[in-house]
Amino acid sequence: MNTYRAAQVETAGGPFEIVEREVPAPGPGHVRIAVDACGICHSDDYFVQAALPGVRFPLVPGHEIAGRIEELGEGTPSTWQVGDRVGVGWFGGSCGHCTPCRQGDFIMCENLKVPGWAYDGGFADKVIAPADALARIPDALTATDAAPLACAGVTTYNGLRRSSARPGDLVAVLGIGGLGHLGVQYAVAMGFETVAIARGSGKADLAEQLGAHHYIDSTADTPVADALQSLGGAKAVLATAANSAAATATVEGLLPRGEMVIIGADVEPLGISPNQLLLSGKVIRGHPTGTAQDVQDTMAFSALQGIRPMVETVPLGQADEAYRKMMSGAARFRMVLTTH
Protein backbone atom coordinates (compact mmCIF):
# COMPACT_ATOMS: atom_id res chain seq x y z
CA MET A 1 0.00 0.00 0.00
CA ASN A 2 1.20 3.52 -0.79
CA THR A 3 -0.65 5.20 2.08
CA TYR A 4 -0.99 4.77 5.82
CA ARG A 5 -3.29 6.11 8.52
CA ALA A 6 -2.33 8.70 11.11
CA ALA A 7 -4.33 10.22 13.97
CA GLN A 8 -3.59 13.94 13.97
CA VAL A 9 -4.81 17.17 15.51
CA GLU A 10 -5.04 20.17 13.21
CA THR A 11 -4.88 22.91 15.84
CA ALA A 12 -3.97 23.18 19.52
CA GLY A 13 -6.46 21.29 21.68
CA GLY A 14 -8.41 20.13 18.66
CA PRO A 15 -9.94 16.67 18.19
CA PHE A 16 -8.05 13.82 16.60
CA GLU A 17 -8.96 12.89 13.06
CA ILE A 18 -7.77 9.96 10.97
CA VAL A 19 -6.01 10.98 7.75
CA GLU A 20 -4.29 9.08 4.96
CA ARG A 21 -0.68 9.95 4.16
CA GLU A 22 1.82 8.74 1.61
CA VAL A 23 4.27 6.18 2.96
CA PRO A 24 7.69 7.88 3.31
CA ALA A 25 11.09 6.28 2.79
CA PRO A 26 13.48 6.45 5.76
CA GLY A 27 16.44 8.80 5.40
CA PRO A 28 20.07 8.01 6.27
CA GLY A 29 20.44 6.48 9.72
CA HIS A 30 16.67 6.12 10.09
CA VAL A 31 14.21 3.25 9.89
CA ARG A 32 10.54 3.00 9.02
CA ILE A 33 8.58 1.15 11.68
CA ALA A 34 5.26 -0.60 11.10
CA VAL A 35 3.50 0.35 14.32
CA ASP A 36 1.67 -2.45 16.12
CA ALA A 37 0.75 -0.49 19.24
CA CYS A 38 1.28 2.96 20.74
CA GLY A 39 0.53 3.99 24.29
CA ILE A 40 -1.20 7.26 25.13
CA CYS A 41 0.80 9.18 27.73
CA HIS A 42 -0.41 12.16 29.74
CA SER A 43 2.63 14.12 28.56
CA ASP A 44 1.28 13.89 25.00
CA ASP A 45 -1.04 16.68 26.12
CA TYR A 46 1.91 19.09 26.25
CA PHE A 47 2.11 18.73 22.49
CA VAL A 48 -1.61 18.62 21.76
CA GLN A 49 -2.08 21.85 23.73
CA ALA A 50 1.05 23.46 22.21
CA ALA A 51 2.40 23.92 25.74
CA LEU A 52 6.00 23.37 24.62
CA PRO A 53 8.01 25.53 22.22
CA GLY A 54 8.36 24.49 18.61
CA VAL A 55 5.24 22.30 18.42
CA ARG A 56 3.96 22.23 14.84
CA PHE A 57 0.52 21.40 13.47
CA PRO A 58 -0.93 19.21 12.12
CA LEU A 59 0.45 17.10 14.96
CA VAL A 60 0.77 13.31 15.28
CA PRO A 61 1.77 12.54 18.90
CA GLY A 62 2.79 9.24 20.45
CA HIS A 63 6.03 8.31 22.22
CA GLU A 64 5.20 4.82 23.50
CA ILE A 65 5.75 2.99 20.23
CA ALA A 66 6.02 -0.75 19.62
CA GLY A 67 6.35 -2.23 16.15
CA ARG A 68 8.57 -3.88 13.55
CA ILE A 69 11.27 -2.46 11.32
CA GLU A 70 9.84 -2.29 7.83
CA GLU A 71 12.62 -0.54 5.90
CA LEU A 72 16.19 0.55 6.67
CA GLY A 73 17.61 3.88 5.59
CA GLU A 74 21.10 4.17 4.19
CA GLY A 75 23.83 3.80 6.81
CA THR A 76 21.62 2.23 9.46
CA PRO A 77 23.81 0.12 11.80
CA SER A 78 23.88 -3.56 10.86
CA THR A 79 22.64 -4.48 14.35
CA TRP A 80 19.16 -3.67 13.05
CA GLN A 81 17.38 -5.71 10.39
CA VAL A 82 14.01 -5.65 8.68
CA GLY A 83 11.53 -7.54 10.83
CA ASP A 84 13.18 -6.70 14.18
CA ARG A 85 10.67 -5.84 16.91
CA VAL A 86 11.51 -2.42 18.30
CA GLY A 87 10.21 0.20 20.68
CA VAL A 88 10.68 3.97 20.76
CA GLY A 89 9.95 6.10 23.82
CA TRP A 90 10.30 9.74 24.92
CA PHE A 91 13.95 9.39 23.94
CA GLY A 92 13.50 9.53 20.19
CA GLY A 93 17.12 10.22 19.31
CA SER A 94 19.91 12.62 20.27
CA CYS A 95 22.08 15.05 18.34
CA GLY A 96 25.40 13.51 19.40
CA HIS A 97 27.30 16.80 19.43
CA CYS A 98 25.97 18.97 22.29
CA THR A 99 27.85 18.99 25.61
CA PRO A 100 25.57 16.46 27.40
CA CYS A 101 25.85 14.08 24.42
CA ARG A 102 29.64 14.46 24.37
CA GLN A 103 29.57 13.58 28.06
CA GLY A 104 27.49 10.47 27.31
CA ASP A 105 24.36 11.84 29.01
CA PHE A 106 22.14 11.41 25.99
CA ILE A 107 18.79 11.81 27.75
CA MET A 108 19.92 15.37 28.59
CA CYS A 109 20.58 16.14 24.91
CA GLU A 110 19.96 19.83 24.25
CA ASN A 111 18.31 18.83 20.95
CA LEU A 112 16.44 15.75 22.18
CA LYS A 113 14.19 14.30 19.48
CA VAL A 114 10.91 13.44 21.18
CA PRO A 115 8.38 11.65 18.93
CA GLY A 116 5.40 13.90 18.39
CA TRP A 117 7.60 16.97 18.93
CA ALA A 118 10.67 16.56 16.75
CA TYR A 119 8.93 14.27 14.26
CA ASP A 120 5.58 12.53 13.78
CA GLY A 121 4.85 10.11 16.60
CA GLY A 122 3.28 6.70 16.87
CA PHE A 123 -0.45 7.48 16.65
CA ALA A 124 -0.19 6.00 13.15
CA ASP A 125 0.35 2.83 11.18
CA LYS A 126 3.95 3.83 10.45
CA VAL A 127 6.64 6.06 11.91
CA ILE A 128 10.14 7.10 10.83
CA ALA A 129 12.66 7.11 13.68
CA PRO A 130 16.44 7.46 13.99
CA ALA A 131 18.32 4.25 14.70
CA ASP A 132 19.70 5.50 18.03
CA ALA A 133 16.11 5.69 19.34
CA LEU A 134 15.46 1.97 18.92
CA ALA A 135 15.06 -0.50 21.78
CA ARG A 136 14.77 -4.21 21.12
CA ILE A 137 11.52 -5.83 22.30
CA PRO A 138 11.87 -9.29 23.88
CA ASP A 139 9.81 -12.10 22.37
CA ALA A 140 8.04 -12.57 25.71
CA LEU A 141 6.35 -9.16 25.46
CA THR A 142 3.38 -8.44 23.24
CA ALA A 143 3.30 -5.11 21.45
CA THR A 144 0.51 -3.84 23.71
CA ASP A 145 2.58 -4.76 26.80
CA ALA A 146 5.79 -3.30 25.38
CA ALA A 147 4.42 0.07 24.25
CA PRO A 148 3.77 1.62 27.71
CA LEU A 149 7.14 0.38 28.92
CA ALA A 150 8.85 2.75 26.45
CA CYS A 151 7.86 5.72 28.64
CA ALA A 152 5.88 4.86 31.77
CA GLY A 153 7.89 1.69 32.30
CA VAL A 154 11.37 3.09 31.78
CA THR A 155 10.63 6.19 33.86
CA THR A 156 9.64 4.16 36.93
CA TYR A 157 12.18 1.36 36.46
CA ASN A 158 15.07 3.71 35.79
CA GLY A 159 14.04 6.03 38.61
CA LEU A 160 14.16 3.18 41.09
CA ARG A 161 17.36 1.53 39.88
CA ARG A 162 19.22 4.86 39.88
CA SER A 163 18.02 5.73 43.37
CA SER A 164 20.16 5.27 46.47
CA ALA A 165 17.94 2.41 47.70
CA ARG A 166 19.33 -1.11 47.82
CA PRO A 167 17.60 -4.51 48.16
CA GLY A 168 16.00 -4.79 51.57
CA ASP A 169 15.50 -1.04 51.98
CA LEU A 170 12.05 0.44 52.55
CA VAL A 171 10.90 2.18 49.38
CA ALA A 172 7.58 3.98 48.94
CA VAL A 173 5.73 4.49 45.67
CA LEU A 174 3.44 7.51 45.85
CA GLY A 175 0.41 7.00 43.61
CA ILE A 176 -0.94 3.80 42.06
CA GLY A 177 -1.90 5.03 38.62
CA GLY A 178 -0.42 4.79 35.15
CA LEU A 179 3.12 5.14 36.52
CA GLY A 180 2.69 3.90 40.07
CA HIS A 181 1.16 0.51 39.26
CA LEU A 182 4.38 -0.26 37.37
CA GLY A 183 6.56 1.34 40.04
CA VAL A 184 5.18 -0.96 42.73
CA GLN A 185 5.88 -4.04 40.60
CA TYR A 186 9.43 -2.93 39.85
CA ALA A 187 10.15 -2.05 43.47
CA VAL A 188 9.04 -5.49 44.62
CA ALA A 189 11.06 -7.24 41.90
CA MET A 190 14.16 -5.23 42.84
CA GLY A 191 13.97 -6.58 46.36
CA PHE A 192 12.74 -3.46 48.14
CA GLU A 193 10.35 -3.59 51.07
CA THR A 194 7.65 -1.81 49.12
CA VAL A 195 5.08 0.65 50.41
CA ALA A 196 2.25 1.77 48.13
CA ILE A 197 0.68 5.16 48.96
CA ALA A 198 -2.65 6.26 47.49
CA ARG A 199 -5.84 8.09 48.36
CA GLY A 200 -8.53 6.09 50.15
CA SER A 201 -8.81 2.48 51.19
CA GLY A 202 -10.11 1.37 47.81
CA LYS A 203 -6.66 0.74 46.32
CA ALA A 204 -5.39 -1.44 49.16
CA ASP A 205 -6.42 -4.63 47.38
CA LEU A 206 -4.75 -3.47 44.15
CA ALA A 207 -1.56 -2.66 46.06
CA GLU A 208 -1.54 -6.17 47.50
CA GLN A 209 -2.22 -7.64 44.06
CA LEU A 210 0.78 -5.73 42.69
CA GLY A 211 2.95 -7.19 45.44
CA ALA A 212 3.29 -4.27 47.86
CA HIS A 213 4.26 -5.25 51.40
CA HIS A 214 2.44 -2.26 52.95
CA TYR A 215 -0.33 0.14 51.98
CA ILE A 216 -0.78 3.69 53.29
CA ASP A 217 -4.05 5.53 52.80
CA SER A 218 -3.04 9.18 52.43
CA THR A 219 -6.52 10.30 53.54
CA ALA A 220 -6.34 8.46 56.87
CA ASP A 221 -5.95 10.25 60.21
CA THR A 222 -2.29 9.24 60.50
CA PRO A 223 -0.10 11.56 58.39
CA VAL A 224 1.76 9.81 55.58
CA ALA A 225 5.16 10.77 56.98
CA ASP A 226 4.27 9.31 60.39
CA ALA A 227 3.02 6.12 58.77
CA LEU A 228 6.32 5.77 56.88
CA GLN A 229 8.33 6.38 60.04
CA SER A 230 6.29 3.74 61.88
CA LEU A 231 7.57 1.28 59.27
CA GLY A 232 11.14 2.37 59.95
CA GLY A 233 11.43 5.28 57.52
CA ALA A 234 11.83 5.23 53.74
CA LYS A 235 15.19 5.16 52.02
CA ALA A 236 13.50 6.43 48.86
CA VAL A 237 10.11 7.71 47.73
CA LEU A 238 9.21 7.43 44.05
CA ALA A 239 6.69 10.23 43.59
CA THR A 240 4.59 9.17 40.60
CA ALA A 241 1.48 11.17 41.52
CA ALA A 242 1.27 14.55 39.79
CA ASN A 243 0.50 16.22 43.09
CA SER A 244 3.06 18.46 44.78
CA ALA A 245 1.19 18.52 48.09
CA ALA A 246 1.12 14.72 48.24
CA ALA A 247 4.85 14.56 47.49
CA THR A 248 5.59 17.19 50.14
CA ALA A 249 3.71 15.13 52.73
CA THR A 250 6.18 12.25 52.39
CA VAL A 251 9.40 14.21 53.05
CA GLU A 252 9.39 13.75 56.82
CA GLY A 253 8.91 10.02 56.24
CA LEU A 254 12.37 9.73 54.69
CA LEU A 255 15.36 8.38 56.54
CA PRO A 256 18.43 10.60 56.98
CA ARG A 257 20.07 10.83 53.55
CA GLY A 258 16.89 9.43 52.07
CA GLU A 259 15.74 10.77 48.72
CA MET A 260 12.57 11.62 46.90
CA VAL A 261 12.62 10.88 43.17
CA ILE A 262 10.08 13.06 41.37
CA ILE A 263 8.58 11.66 38.16
CA GLY A 264 5.00 12.97 38.43
CA ALA A 265 4.72 16.35 36.68
CA ASP A 266 2.92 19.18 38.49
CA VAL A 267 3.11 22.95 37.99
CA GLU A 268 2.55 23.68 41.68
CA PRO A 269 5.68 24.21 43.83
CA LEU A 270 6.77 21.72 46.46
CA GLY A 271 6.18 23.00 50.00
CA ILE A 272 9.58 21.99 51.35
CA SER A 273 11.82 24.17 53.50
CA PRO A 274 15.63 24.00 53.43
CA ASN A 275 15.59 23.03 57.11
CA GLN A 276 13.79 19.82 56.23
CA LEU A 277 16.73 18.82 54.05
CA LEU A 278 19.85 20.27 55.68
CA LEU A 279 20.38 18.48 58.98
CA SER A 280 19.16 15.11 57.70
CA GLY A 281 20.93 15.34 54.33
CA LYS A 282 17.78 14.50 52.39
CA VAL A 283 17.73 14.77 48.60
CA ILE A 284 14.88 15.84 46.31
CA ARG A 285 15.56 15.28 42.62
CA GLY A 286 13.74 15.10 39.35
CA HIS A 287 14.25 12.06 37.18
CA PRO A 288 14.00 12.13 33.38
CA THR A 289 12.87 9.01 31.57
CA GLY A 290 15.79 7.14 29.94
CA THR A 291 17.68 6.40 26.76
CA ALA A 292 16.88 3.69 24.22
CA GLN A 293 19.22 1.35 26.11
CA ASP A 294 17.33 2.11 29.33
CA VAL A 295 14.08 1.26 27.54
CA GLN A 296 15.62 -2.00 26.35
CA ASP A 297 16.81 -2.77 29.89
CA THR A 298 13.31 -2.05 31.20
CA MET A 299 11.71 -4.41 28.72
CA ALA A 300 14.23 -7.18 29.40
CA PHE A 301 13.70 -6.85 33.17
CA SER A 302 9.93 -6.82 32.74
CA ALA A 303 10.05 -9.98 30.61
CA LEU A 304 12.33 -11.68 33.14
CA GLN A 305 10.21 -10.78 36.16
CA GLY A 306 6.77 -11.17 34.59
CA ILE A 307 5.95 -7.48 35.03
CA ARG A 308 3.25 -6.15 32.73
CA PRO A 309 1.33 -2.87 32.50
CA MET A 310 -2.42 -2.86 32.97
CA VAL A 311 -3.76 -1.65 29.63
CA GLU A 312 -6.95 -0.87 27.75
CA THR A 313 -6.55 -1.38 24.01
CA VAL A 314 -8.43 0.76 21.49
CA PRO A 315 -8.23 0.73 17.67
CA LEU A 316 -6.32 3.60 16.08
CA GLY A 317 -9.55 4.80 14.48
CA GLN A 318 -10.90 5.61 17.96
CA ALA A 319 -7.84 7.67 18.99
CA ASP A 320 -9.87 10.69 19.99
CA GLU A 321 -12.15 8.76 22.35
CA ALA A 322 -9.15 6.94 23.87
CA TYR A 323 -7.26 10.20 24.35
CA ARG A 324 -10.21 11.87 26.07
CA LYS A 325 -10.59 8.89 28.40
CA MET A 326 -6.92 9.10 29.36
CA MET A 327 -7.21 12.83 30.04
CA SER A 328 -10.32 12.31 32.18
CA GLY A 329 -8.41 10.00 34.51
CA ALA A 330 -10.76 7.10 33.80
CA ALA A 331 -8.11 4.86 32.18
CA ARG A 332 -7.03 1.76 34.13
CA PHE A 333 -4.19 2.29 33.73
CA ARG A 334 -2.62 2.81 30.29
CA MET A 335 -4.56 3.43 27.08
CA VAL A 336 -2.94 1.73 24.09
CA LEU A 337 -3.83 2.28 20.43
CA THR A 338 -3.56 -0.76 18.16
CA THR A 339 -3.30 -0.79 14.37
CA HIS A 340 -4.61 -4.31 13.64
Q: What is the pLDDT of residues 82-136, one digit of tens each?
A: 999 999 999 999 999 999 999 999 999 999 999 999 999 999 999 999 999 999 9
Q: Tell whether omega for the bond before 130 is within 30 degrees of 0, i.e. cis.
A: no
Q: Which residues does the chain have with pLDDT short of 50? A: none
**b/e burial code for range 202-226 (CB count within 10 A of at least 16 → b):** ebbebbeebebbbbbbbeeeeebbe
CA–CA distance, 241 with 205 (Å, rounded to integer): 19
Residue 336 confidence (pLDDT): 98
Decide if 264 contacts 237 (C-beta within 8 A).
no
Sign, CA dihedral 89-92-96-97, equals negative
Sign, CA dihedral 65-66-72-75, equals positive
Residue 73 confidence (pLDDT): 98
- H or E stretch covering 238: strand 234-239
10 Å Cβ neighbour count for 306? Answer: 9
Strands (E), 240-308: 254-262, 283-286
pTM of the model: 0.97
Residue 101 confidence (pLDDT): 98
Q: What domains, with CATH codes, occur in the chain?
A: 3-150+290-338 (3.90.180.10), 163-286 (3.40.50.720)
Residue 1 confidence (pLDDT): 75
Residue 67 confidence (pLDDT): 98
